[in-house]
Structure 1
Amino acid sequence: MALGLLILLVFLLVIAALALQKHYSYWRRMGIREIKPKWIVGNLMGLLNMHKSPAEFISQLYNHPEAENEPFVGIHVFHKPAILLRDPEMVKHILIKDFSGFSNRYSNSDHKADPLGSQNIFFLKNPAWKEVRYKLSPFFTGNRLKQMFPLIEEVGASLDAHLRQQPLHNERMRCFDLEAKELCALFTTDVIATVAYGIKANSFTDPNSEFRRHGRSVFEFSLLRAAEFTMVFFLPHLVPFFGFKVVPKEATHFLRNTINYVMSEREQSGQKRNDLIDILIEFRRSTQQAKASGIKDQFVFEGDILVAQAVLFFTAGFESSSSSMAFAMYELAKDADVQQRLREEIKDALVDSGGQVTLTMIESLEFMQMVLLEVLRMYPPLPFLDRECTSEKDYTLAPFHNFVVPKGMPVYIPCYALHMDPLYFPQPRKFLPERFSPENRKLHTPYTYMPFGLGPHGCIGERFGLLQAKVGLVYLLRNHMITTSERTPHRMQLDPKAIITQAKGGIPLRLVRDPLGV
């Protein structure tokens, strides 16, 4: 009896091994170059062991010897065959030219357990994504940005006042130390709260306010959060079984209650602020009017799908811009010449504007734009993009290969790796804002630079994000110079637990009180 069970067990194990061997030979059978996977984890061991950050992990795949000179390469994300793009022309096809066949992200959260994480336009699938994106677009027009600007500028002035009130650690050198990422997050949290919701978060006076605390909880990467986001991006179909969430339970409760309360108060008062809340109220009214008129095929804007858009604007808006600002501070602290040039540009612009920080003044800062674009090249908020083949027809990778991409197959675009490829950006680890001068930008290989994504799925808030970062840096540099401290890392280390681009251990810097005198 025992011998029979042993033989049966061995037989089953052999069958399972043969099945796995056939499964992981998929790309060889398709005649496509592959990076050899390991059973169960596929090609993700470098991500799962957390020896390197996700940005560096994706670069290792991109630069793997088996991928060299290939326009794309086959990989496995756990059990599932996937494609890693390497050629900019292929990037163009997948993200733009043939977008209709790759209109969804592969990543996703749980629709039921994580409604605010799964129903925002980052994770929404077509046709809901297209409808919501179209409705939200008016919030980010040039005219809307003009209306928002006084609110952003007001928070910038609060940032300046907050810094000028800080006690000097060294009276002779007139300096004090700080954590750059946290400072920038306080600024962007206040900006988003006032611009989107009409709420004063007062993060500078209360760094542990509910807005800051719950915003921090979304992007604080413990081992558990690292596992959650890895599952969301690489095993989305299993997310519901583990109860993983993009927006944690307590943050969901706080943000849902806050946004619904603000919407209710705004509707009762009839007050208009031209902010995101007003747009969401209009969405809900259009749904109510359609129902009253008996229209049944209109998209329903009610409940959590409204709240989810407000939550995405808050979480993505404060995190990406604060990271970009903090990384900019780090690179400026290490390069005194670049910082001096930027401060001179700000000083000249302030003289021209009579000392006032205006939208026209901000838009005139050409070198500031170059600095931020170079920072975003070196530290893109998302180190890779993901898409899922949604094409109902056979989609081939011609002219690169005759392989037909099956529906449901994930495709990954290694943004960080392309940004750091010396073929496209010589001396990629060197901070060189001149790369993005108007003349040099014309020389860039198209589709090799994508810190905000590309195509219809590109970041809807790109202009807003850059605007708030510029205002923050202007007010920061107006009365202070940034330098390194004894605690500042000589070379930036990225957090291996964070699926987005974050500094490991924060960014400790020193500010020297040095007013521009304008």
Structure 2
Amino acid sequence: MALGVLILLISLLVILYLALQKHYSYWRRMGVREIKPKWIVGNLMGLLSMQNSPAEFISQLYNHPEAENEPFVGIHVFHKPALLLRDPDMVRNILVKDFGRFSNRYSSSDHKGDPLGSQNIFFLKNPAWKEVRLKLSPFFTGNRLKQMFPLIEEVGASLDAHLRQQPLHNERMRCFDLEAKELCALFTTDVISTVAFGVKANSFTDPNGEFRRHGRSVFEFSLLRAAEFVLVFFLPRLVPFFGFKVVPSEATHFLRQTINYVMAEREKTGQKRNDLIDILIEFRRSTQEAKASGIQDQFVFEGDMLVAQAVLFFTAGFESSSSTMAFAMYELAKDADLQLRLREEIRDALVESGGQVTLKMIESLEFLQMILQEVLRMYPPLPFLDRECTSGRDYSLAPFHNFVVPKGMPVYIPCYALHMDPQYFPQPRKFLPERFSPENRKLHTPYTYMPFGLGPHGCIGERFGFLQAKVGLVCLLRNHLITTTERTPHRMQLDPKAIITQAKGGIHLRLVRDPLGV
């Protein structure tokens, strides 16, 4: 009896071994160059070990000897075969030219357990994504940004006042130290709350207020939080079984309650502020009218579908812009000449505008635009993009290869690795804003720069993100000079736990009170 059980066990193990051998030989059988995977984890060991940041991990795959000179390479994300693109023309095909066949992200969250994380336009799948994106687009037009600007500038003035009120750590040098990312997050949290929801978060006076606290919880990466996001991006079908959420339960409760309350009050008073809440109310009204008219195929904009869009705008809006601002402060602190040039540009623009921070004045700051674009090259908010083949018919990679991509296969685009490829950006680790001068931008290889994504799935709030980052930096630099401290790293280290691009241990800098006098 025992012998029979042993033989059965050995047989099962042999069958499992042979099945895994066949499974992980997929790319060899397809005639595609691959990066050799490890069983179970595939090619994700570098990510799971947390020795390096996700940005550096994706660069290691991109620069792997087996991937050299290849337009794409086969990898495994855990058990699943996937493609890692390397050629800019292939990137164009997947993100733009053939978008209709790759219209969904592979990543997703749990529709039932995480309604605010799964139903926003970042994770939504077609056709819902297309409907929501189309209806949200009016919020980001030039005219809307013009209407929002006084509110953004008001928060910028609060940032300036907050900094000028800080006690000096050294009276002789007229300076004080701070952690830049948190300061910038206080600013962007206040901007988003007032511009999108008509709510004053007052983060400068209450840095642990509910908006800041719950916003922080979404992007605070513990080991468990890191595991949640790894599954969301690389093994999304398991997310519901583990109960993982993009938006934590406590933050979900607060944001749902707050946004629904603001919408209800706005409908009751009939007040209009031309903000995101007005657009969401209009969404709901159109759904109710369609139901009353007996229209069955109208997309339903109610409940958490509405709240989810507001939550994405809040979380993505404050996090990406605050990171960009903080990384810009870090690079300016290390290069006094660049900072001097920028402050002179700001001074000249303020003189021209009579000392007022206006939309025209902000838009005139060409060197600031170049600085932010170079920051986003070196520190893109997401180090990679993901897509899923959604084509009803398999998708051929000709003329690059005769491989045909099956429906459901994930495709990864290594933005950070492309940004740091010396073939496209010489001396990639050097901070050189001149790369983005009007003349030099024309020389860039298309589809090698994508901090906001590219194609129809590109970030809908790109212009808004630039605008609030510029206002914040102008208001900060107007009365302060940025320098390094003993705690400022010579070379930036990225957090290995954070799936988005974050500084390990924060960004510690010194501000010196030095008014431009305008």
Same fold (TM over 0.5): yes
Aligned to 1:113: 113
Aligned to 1:274: 274
Q: Deviations over 1:120-151 (max 9, x none)?
A: 00000000000000000000000000000000
Q: Deviations over 1:190-223 (max 9, x none)?
A: 0000000000000000000000000000000000
Residue 510 in structure 1 maps to residue 487 in structure 2:
no
Deviation at 1:393, TM superposition (A): 1.4
Distance 2:395 2:209 in 1: 50
Secondary structure of 1:81's counterpart equals: strand
Distance 2:221 2:342 in 1: 33
Residue 169 in structure 1 maps to residue 169 in structure 2:
yes
Aligned to 1:399: 399
Aligned to 1:459: 459
Aligned to 2:365: 365
TM norm structure 2? 1.00
Aligned to 1:292: 292
Deviation at 1:234, TM superposition (A): 0.2
Aligned to 1:440: 440
The amino acid across from 1:488 in the alignment is: T
The amino acid across from 2:226 in the alignment is: A
Deviation at 1:394, TM superposition (A): 2.5
Distance 1:145 1:58 in 2: 35
Secondary structure of 1:247's counterpart equals: coil
Alignment of 1:160-309 (within 5 A): 160-309=160-309
Number of aligned residues? 518
The amino acid across from 1:337 in the alignment is: D
Aligned to 1:414: 414
Deviation at 1:2, TM superposition (A): 1.1
Distance 2:489 2:6 in 1: 57
Distance 1:318 1:64 in 2: 34
The amino acid across from 1:377 in the alignment is: R
Aligned to 2:340: 340
The amino acid across from 2:159 in the alignment is: L
The amino acid across from 1:163 in the alignment is: L
The amino acid across from 2:156 in the alignment is: G
Distance 1:326 1:89 in 2: 33
Aligned to 2:155: 155
Aligned to 1:145: 145
Secondary structure of 1:439's counterpart equals: helix
Aligned to 2:381: 381
Distance 1:211 1:272 in 2: 22
Residue 26 in structure 1 maps to residue 48 in structure 2:
no
Identity fraction in percent = 90
Q: Deviations over 1:26-54 (max 9, x none)?
A: 00000000000000000000000000000
Deviation at 1:83, TM superposition (A): 0.1
Secondary structure of 2:81's counterpart equals: strand
Distance 2:500 2:229 in 1: 9
Q: Deviations over 1:96-130 (max 9, x none)?
A: 00000000000000000000000000000000000
Q: Deviations over 1:314-347 (max 9, x none)?
A: 0000000000000000000000000000000000
Distance 2:49 2:403 in 1: 32
Deviation at 1:70, TM superposition (A): 0.0
Aligned to 1:482: 482
Aligned to 1:41: 41
Secondary structure of 1:124's counterpart equals: coil
Distance 2:395 2:289 in 1: 41
Distance 2:43 2:7 in 1: 32
Distance 1:171 1:348 in 2: 29
Q: Show structure 1 runs of 5+ residues with no match.
A: none
Distance 1:99 1:117 in 2: 23
TM norm structure 1? 1.00
Deviation at 1:93, TM superposition (A): 0.0
Secondary structure of 1:38's counterpart equals: coil
Deviation at 1:4, TM superposition (A): 1.1
Distance 1:291 1:392 in 2: 32
Q: Deviations over 1:76-111 (max 9, x none)?
A: 000000000000000000000000000000000000
Distance 1:503 1:398 in 2: 40
Secondary structure of 2:386's counterpart equals: strand
Aligned to 1:425: 425
Q: Show structure 2 runs of 5+ residues with no match.
A: none
Q: Deviations over 1:9-36 (max 9, x none)?
A: 0110000000000000000000000000
The amino acid across from 1:52 in the alignment is: N
Secondary structure of 1:487's counterpart equals: coil
Distance 2:260 2:415 in 1: 36
Q: Deviations over 1:396-453 (max 9, x none)?
A: 0011011110000000000000000000000000000000000000000000000000
The amino acid across from 1:372 in the alignment is: L
Residue 134 in structure 1 maps to residue 134 in structure 2:
yes
Distance 2:450 2:401 in 1: 25
Deviation at 1:7, TM superposition (A): 1.0
Deviation at 1:236, TM superposition (A): 0.3
Q: Deviations over 1:218-273 (max 9, x none)?
A: 00000000000000000000100000000000000000000000000000000000
Distance 2:194 2:466 in 1: 17
Residue 473 in structure 1 maps to residue 473 in structure 2:
yes
The amino acid across from 1:259 in the alignment is: I
Secondary structure of 2:125's counterpart equals: coil
Secondary structure of 1:468's counterpart equals: helix
Alignment of 1:1-12 (within 5 A): 1-12=1-12
Q: Tell me how large the CA RMSD over aligned residues is.
A: 0.3
Distance 1:8 1:395 in 2: 42
The amino acid across from 1:68 in the alignment is: E
Distance 1:186 1:398 in 2: 49
Distance 2:448 2:376 in 1: 13
The amino acid across from 1:126 in the alignment is: N
Distance 1:443 1:489 in 2: 32
